Structure 1
Amino acid sequence: MRVWACGLLAAMGFSCLAMAHGQARAGATGNYVDAIDYPSPEGGWDRFFDLEASLAGGFDSVCGDTFCEGDYSNLRPLSYRCSVERTSGIIGECVWTFAGSYQDIDPDNGKVKVDARLWQCRTPINPGTHIEQLYSALEPIGPHDVLHKLLPGGNKSIYDGLTECL
């Protein structure tokens, strides 16, 4: 999935440098880490990427009837990321990045005209939410339901965050 996302970004004229694992984290000593690095370096790798895959499956199951009906009908999730306070496990924020494009053919010269766009959708996480609470709330359910499940301690879902963004 990472290679596909990087290829899509490159085709859209964006850099893939930050997508390489560890590159953005090299030498990081601040208060926050990527969720895949909580509770230890790469300690959350499997759980977080399983969550990301579940979210992508959920998006695919609702896309055609919702977000993908407009100009950007080929909307694709690229990456889901959460920052986590390194000592407490409290989530700083989660952002889901999407790319979409619209293509049209110029009938006079045969050129393909592309209108490409990126979206950075913040998940409406309640302050003080621990990463384990997010996993517990979203892991045991199916891909379609994962988007509609209420986030811990609140009355919003990831789907609600997407409707405010896309």
Structure 2
Amino acid sequence: MLALPGPSSADDRLDGPYVDAATYARGDDALVEAWYAMTYQLPRQFDQVCGDTFCEGEYTNYQPLRFQCSVRRDDGRIGMCVWSFAASDEYLLPRSGRIVVQPEVRHCRTPLAPGATLPAMLDAVAGGEALHAALPGGHSIFDGLVDCL
């Protein structure tokens, strides 16, 4: 089992001003529905563009993992959003039969305007094209992937 590193300092373990987006949305049915609609759409939309864009290079099998945002609990302002991806390259050693795996993990930041709020971001992607919608600040989630994958 792979262990993930925990918070880097004692301060990171204390209750702070930020929560994850799902926690922030809790209690507001429209926000909850919008958040889960977006996170449902994103991997499917990525799969539609992967073959013609990101999945032609060294790694041809990028798999989207999780899209996550930190949100200030008092006003809904986004601290940052990242979308994590995994990929690998495998090759066979003919003499031994051994397969060598070169794993790759990427954490792609979403380009958002400073001060953007979760409700504003979710409104921007509400039309069904979450991957390509112009977010607060004018860029898209796709734009963040171009700089990352």
Same fold, judged at TM 0.5 (above): yes
Contact 2:26 2:32 in 1 (8 A): no
The letter for the 2-side match of 1:68 is C
User: 1:146 is paired with a residue of what secondary structure?
Assistant: coil
User: 1:100 is paired with a residue of what secondary structure?
Assistant: strand
What is the alpha-carbon distance in structure 2 between the residues aligned to residue 137 and residue 75 of structure 1?
A: 26
The C-alpha deviation readout for 1:140-164, integer Å capped at 9, x for no partner, is 22xxx32221112x23111111010
User: 2:121 is paired with a residue of what secondary structure?
Assistant: helix
Q: TM-score, normalised by structure 2?
A: 0.86
Report what 2:57 is aligned to: 70
User: 1:38 is paired with a residue of what secondary structure?
Assistant: helix
* Aligned-pair CA distance for 1:106: 0.6
Deviates more, 1:114-123 or 1:45-54: 45-54
Report what 1:22 is aligned to: none
Contact 1:97 1:120 in 2 (8 A): yes
The letter for the 2-side match of 1:31 is P
Structure 2 residue corresponding to 1:151, chosen from 119, 135, 139:
135
Residues 1:112 and 2:81 are matched in the alignment: no
Question: How many residue pairs end up in the alignment?
Answer: 142
Unaligned segments of structure 1, at least 5 residues: 1-9, 19-26
What is the alpha-carbon distance in structure 2 between the residues aligned to residue 94 and residue 105 of structure 1?
A: 37
* Aligned-pair CA distance for 1:42: 9.0
The letter for the 2-side match of 1:89 is G
What is the alpha-carbon distance in structure 2 between the residues aligned to residue 41 and residue 108 of structure 1?
A: 59
The letter for the 2-side match of 1:150 is A
* Aligned-pair CA distance for 1:16: 6.1
Specify whether residues 96 and 42 from structure 1 end up closer, same or farther in structure 2 by C-alpha distance, changes over 3 A only: farther
Report what 1:134 is aligned to: 121
* Aligned-pair CA distance for 1:81: 0.2
* Aligned-pair CA distance for 1:132: 0.6
* Aligned-pair CA distance for 1:29: 1.9
Q: TM-score, normalised by structure 1?
A: 0.77
- What RMSD over aligned residues (CA atoms) do the two structures have, in Å? 2.2
The letter for the 1-side match of 2:48 is S
The C-alpha deviation readout for 1:29-65, integer Å capped at 9, x for no partner, is 2100000011447975543232111111110110011
Unaligned segments of structure 2, at least 5 residues: 7-12
